[in-house]
Amino acid sequence: MKLRMLTSAMALAATLVSPVQAAEKRDGEFWMVIGGRQAVSHIDPGQSYDYSIRMMTQALYDGLVKYSGNPPEVEPWLATDWTTSEDGLTWTFNLAESATFHNGDPVTAEAVVYSYQRVLEMNEGVAWMLSDILKPENIKATGEHTVEFTLDRPYAPFLSFLPWWFVVNPAQVEPNVVDGDFGKAWLSENDAGSGPYELERFDQGTAYWLRRDDDYWKGFPYEAEDMGGIIYRLIQESSSQRAALMSGEADLVTDLTPEEFEVVGARPDIEVSSTPALTTFGLKMNTQGEYMSDVNLRKAVAHAFDYETFVQVYNGNAKLQTSPFADAIRGKVEIDMPRKDIEKAKEYLGKTEWPEGGITLEYVYVQGLEQQRQMGLSLLNSLKELNIELEMVPLTWPNMVARASSIEESPDLLAIFATPVSTDPDAVAIQYHPSSHGKYYGSHFLEDEELKAMIEEARRISDWEERAPIYAKIQQRIADLQPEIFGMLRQRQFAYRTYVQGYVDSPIRMTGEVDLYPLYIQP
Amino acid sequence: MRRLILKRLGLMVVMLLGLAVITFTIANVAPGDPARLAAGPDASQEMVEQVRAERGFDKPVPVRFMIYLGQLARGDLGTSVYTGREVSRDIAQFLPATVELVLFAITIAIVFGIPLGVLAAVWQNKATDHGIRLLAVSGAALPMFWLGLMLQWYLALELDLFPLGGRLGVFDDVPPKITGMITVDALLNGDPGTALTAMWHMVLPALALSLPALAAIIRVNRAEMLEVLGRDYVTNARAQGIGPFRIIAVYSLKNAILPTLAMIGLRFGWMLGGTVLVEGVFDFPGVGLYAAKAAVSSDFEPIMAVTLILGAAFMFTNLLIDLAYALLDPRVRNQV
């Protein structure tokens, strides 16, 4: 804490002395340097994904559709339009005929079929989104630029997942398949896409260079022809990111801590963007655990918690949840959520086996995340009024994920940021369905037949007018069951030099993820 | 001499095997599910099980250990769960950067540590001695990462004398790879400008990394010099009218240097480990940063590989120091 205060103070001091730098050109072109904290372990759109991988793959590849704007909307991309059959099973997409891969090959329906089948057969990365409802053999090219998907059963959120399925060029991948590896090794560090950027250099663990494709089939939303490319440079410490931004070594940085964000935000040569994310932060309770299986204890803890602390920890750059669904999720309704009320908390506690408290709950959070530690301390303080002890256990992320994977190991309270990959309400509702048991965001192991039936029914209906009321009920039911302390929506925070133009926010993107397509430099 | 080398190499193999057992055991009793990590947080249980089977995580620990040993014997260090790349390939990429940084840092420690130790001994209990001892105590007490942050803030950000991090500027071209050490490769390619730039990038991390070693070298060298300077043959040399510089440089330092040499060997190993702290601060893409990332990701094969390689480097350095001892001191040579 002292060290952090010291570094922040030093940063503030540096603010006063650092010279303002302008963008630099290389060979007559601007190259934008993005400082990010997470390495890009590979650029294969079919393997795993995280924010840095998704940022790169979105720049190198195109999907049939793309998310953009705030609130996020699915807009046509490789697909110019699409139709759905009456029964909701068959989806037909028409492709843009002008689309070409970086090597000049046309983007055809066969390439789309190949790309989707590849991911489904690999059964990695984004496969989980569609593997339950789409068999590889049911994707067909019905024309050179027409592709048809036949689902096993109606699935309303289908389209909302497609922005994360990218199209690769089979003519480039196939010759590089080794021992039936689907070309994974080659695609990890090579690009076979049609996106606005091409891979120029891949220095693992250092920097990743993307050259702008001047002839991108879809063009660019700006006219700055001297935009050369983007370098995603790995800067792992938040304090180093801040320093790099202030010294001009980086033009845009992602995922700063709230303290660093405050410091850079005070400078005239730096712009900041702070907007609500889809990401919710909550304390998930193990509803099948020794203590938290009692809904009254869950409600007692939820009413004891000091919600205002959440917002303070993020210096106001956060907003309390008013539903189990984030604001940008379709169909979100306002629900009367618990707020700090010790009398009510004691009332609920009185209905449990432990009316006088005297128990110890375990709170697990990510090691090194100061905000989560502070929230734990706040909870610890609140629970004292109920005579409940809180044991705070910091764990690395993989260890937390492992703890969350079984009912026996899942802690009483688990601090989790969860980012849905789609704006469809099913992406959030499914977290409270038994199919999420074992996943980090399903660590509450909630079992409720009524809720389960509603979730399953809603995802089968295609008509939104019919779905919406069900999701209103789902939100109320989740809130009534209180499987977590519904916390806050953390803001997405980015800082960039004032000469960086075109930044567009979209809450569907992950905490540190930026859409590189519209960005350019204009000093 | 040959006997010494063979004996020590044999011992190294046994010790490395012990190290492999320990790291493998720790990695396998530690919590965390590597299959879940590899499959991704959203992956279904079926996908996790598929990865578990593919990577052999479903086999009993003794079987996995035997497989691991077999891999090691073939020079295969496994595959990183996080990057999906072969660990040997990652190490080949990251290790030269670390070696280059450590060599640079140890050079700083030796070049400044030995003369300062001598000066402190010669001017014992004078202001110079006190000043040098203060530096030695500070060097031993200050955490490397904190020192790194301070250097970065003051010399890089405030005075703008050095870059904030990395091995080269983002727009600098990396010389064609020969050794993987940029300064060496640049010189071999006749590009002294890039070599200088790379060296400039190494100054701050190397300073942070070298201070504990510098402190240790000063302390040991000062103590040894004090002892040697008090010996009869030095008094005798003085009585014969031999000049003070010759007494210190030729008669005393040669005898005082042996324990310092041993200290340098030990410190080299410590420094390799210390890069885990320093490389993160300066975003220096070396094996320390790689290991730190692997550790927080529960990515066990890179951690085990880095531990083994650093252990081997530590042992090998000690072997070299022992050989140097034998070469410099006939008594040691004769014992062997």
For residue B42, the distance in angstroms to the closest alpha carbon of chain A comes to 7
| Closest Cα in chain B to A431 | B42
pLDDT at B36 over 90: no
* Window from A245-254, B58-67, B195-204 with minimum mean pLDDT: B58-67
B85–A contact, CB cutoff 8 A: yes
Per residue in B89-107, pLDDT (tens digit) is 999 999 999 999 999 999 9
Query: For the residues A110-128, what does the mean pLDDT come to?
Result: 95
Q: Which residues contact A104 (CB under 8 A, 6 or more apart)?
A: none
What does the pLDDT read at residue A10? 45
A322 secondary structure, DSSP code: S
Which residues 173-202 of B have a C-beta within 8 angstroms of A?
Answer: 174
What does the pLDDT read at residue A188? 93
Q: Which residues contact A423 (CB under 8 A, 6 or more apart)?
A: A67, A71, A72, A160, A278, A328, A329, A330, A508
Count Cβ atoms within 10 A of the Cβ of residue A5 and give its class: 0-12 exposed, 13-18 middle, 19 or more buried: exposed
* Window from A112-121, A419-428, B315-324 with minimum mean pLDDT: B315-324
B170–A contact, CB cutoff 8 A: yes
Q: The tokens of A327 are what?
A: 């604001």
| Closest Cα in chain B to A438 | B45
Task: Using a cut of 0.90, tell me whether the model's pTM lies above it.
Answer: no
What does the pLDDT read at residue A279? 85
Q: In what order do the strands lie in the sheet with A139-143?
A: A79-84, A90-95, A146-150, A139-143
pLDDT bracket for residue A203 (50, 70, 90): confident
Residue A141 vs residue B323, higher pLDDT: A141
Query: Between B32, B51, B84, which is nearest A398 by CB?
Result: B32
B-chain residues near A439 (CB < 8 A)? 41-43
Query: Between A233, A240, A398, which is nearest B37 by CB?
Result: A398
What does the pLDDT read at residue A7? 44
What does the pLDDT read at residue B125? 85
Buried b (16+ CB within 10 A) or exposed e, A128-157: bbbbebbeeebbebeeebbbbbebeebbbb
The answer to whether the CB of A42 falls within 8 A of the CB of B84 is: yes
| Closest Cα in chain B to A244 | B164
pLDDT bracket for residue A309 (50, 70, 90): confident
Query: For the residues A80-88, what does the mean pLDDT come to?
Result: 93
For residue A287, the distance in angstroms to the closest alpha carbon of chain B comes to 20
Which residues 242-271 of B have a C-beta within 8 angstroms of A?
Answer: none
* Whole-number Å distance between alpha carbons of B163 and B126: 37
pLDDT at A20 over 70: no
B28–A contact, CB cutoff 8 A: no
CB contact under 8 A, B39 and A239: no
Residue A61 vs residue B5, higher pLDDT: A61
Residue the block writes with tokens 């963008």: A23
B-chain residues near A243 (CB < 8 A)? 152-153, 156-157, 164
Q: The tokens of B167 are what?
A: 């091995």
What does the pLDDT read at residue A438? 85
Q: Dihedral, CA atoms, B129, B131, B136, B138, nearest 10 degrees?
A: 160
Q: Which amino acid is present at A294?
A: D
pLDDT bracket for residue A354 (50, 70, 90): very high
What does the pLDDT read at residue A120? 96
Q: What percent of chain A has pLDDT over 70?
A: 96
Average pLDDT in chain B: 86
The answer to whether the CB of A334 falls within 8 A of the CB of A283 is: no
CB contact under 8 A, A233 and B45: no
CB contact under 8 A, A128 and B293: no
pLDDT at A183 over 60: yes
The answer to whether the CB of B167 falls within 8 A of the CB of B181 is: no
Total Cβ atoms within 10 A of residue B116: 23
* Whole-number Å distance between alpha carbons of A438 and B151: 45
Count Cα neighbours of B132 within 13 Å in the Cβ-side half-sphere.
Answer: 27
What does the pLDDT read at residue A13? 44
B-chain residues near A397 (CB < 8 A)? 296-297
Count Cβ atoms within 10 A of the Cβ of residue A19 and give its class: 0-12 exposed, 13-18 middle, 19 or more buried: exposed
Per residue in A388-418, pLDDT (tens digit) is 999 999 988 878 888 888 899 999 999 988 8
What does the pLDDT read at residue B319? 83
The complex's ipTM works out to 0.77
Count Cα neighbours of B275 within 13 Å in the Cβ-side half-sphere.
Answer: 32
* Whole-number Å distance between alpha carbons of B302 and B305: 5
* Whole-number Å distance between alpha carbons of A395 and A372: 11
Query: For the residues B143-150, what does the mean pLDDT come to?
Result: 89
Q: What does the DSSP assignment read for A86-113? A: TTS-EEEEEEPTT-B-TTS-B--HHHHH
Q: Which of A207, A84, A229 is nearest to A157 (CA)?
A: A84
CB contact under 8 A, B283 and A39: no
Residue A114 vs residue A157, higher pLDDT: A114
Query: For the residues A240-250, what does the mean pLDDT come to?
Result: 89
CB contact under 8 A, B33 and A402: yes
CB contact under 8 A, B166 and A244: no
* Window from A144-153, A217-226, B37-46, B157-166 with minimum mean pLDDT: B37-46
* Window from A10-19, A80-89, A508-517 with minimum mean pLDDT: A10-19
Query: For the residues A105-127, what does the mean pLDDT come to?
Result: 96
Segment of A20-24, A252-256, B243-247 carrying the highest mean pLDDT: A252-256
B-chain residues near A410 (CB < 8 A)? none
B285–A contact, CB cutoff 8 A: yes
What does the pLDDT read at residue B51? 83
What does the pLDDT read at residue A14? 43
| Closest Cα in chain B to A241 | B164
pLDDT bracket for residue A6 (50, 70, 90): very low
pLDDT at B5 over 90: no
| CA distances (Å), origin B48, targets A134, A239, A262, A317 | 19, 36, 40, 36
* Whole-number Å distance between alpha carbons of B73 and A448: 53
Average pLDDT in chain A: 90
| CA distances (Å), origin B8, targets B22, B269, B323, B324 | 21, 17, 10, 14
CB contact under 8 A, B84 and A123: no
Q: What does the DSSP assignment read for B207-255? A: HHHHHHHHHHHHHHHHHHHHHHHTSHHHHHHHHTT--HHHIIIIIIHHH
Query: For the residues B232-237, what does the mean pLDDT come to?
Result: 81
pLDDT bracket for residue B334 (50, 70, 90): low
What does the pLDDT read at residue B284? 92
Residue A88 vs residue A61, higher pLDDT: A61
The answer to whether the CB of B94 falls within 8 A of the CB of B292 is: no
For residue A348, the distance in angstroms to the closest alpha carbon of chain B comes to 34
For chains A and B, count residue pairs whose Cβ atoms are closer than 8 Å: 142
Q: What percent of chain A has pLDDT over 90?
A: 65
What does the pLDDT read at residue B157? 82
CB contact under 8 A, B280 and A396: no
Query: For the residues B43-51, what does the mean pLDDT come to?
Result: 81
What does the pLDDT read at residue A11? 45
Per residue in B192-222, pLDDT (tens digit) is 999 999 999 999 999 999 999 999 999 988 9
**CA-based radius of gyration for chain A:** 24
CB contact under 8 A, A398 and B44: no
For residue A416, the distance in angstroms to the closest alpha carbon of chain B comes to 12
CB contact under 8 A, A41 and B82: yes
Q: Which backbone phi and psi does A152 adopt, to 5 degrees?
A: -70, -35
CB contact under 8 A, B146 and A188: no
B164–A contact, CB cutoff 8 A: yes
CB contact under 8 A, B160 and A41: no
CB contact under 8 A, B157 and A246: yes
SS3 A229: strand
A-chain residues near B297 (CB < 8 A)? 396-398
| CA distances (Å), origin A434, targets A126, A430, A455, B43 | 20, 8, 11, 14
For residue A193, the distance in angstroms to the closest alpha carbon of chain B comes to 21
What does the pLDDT read at residue A17? 40
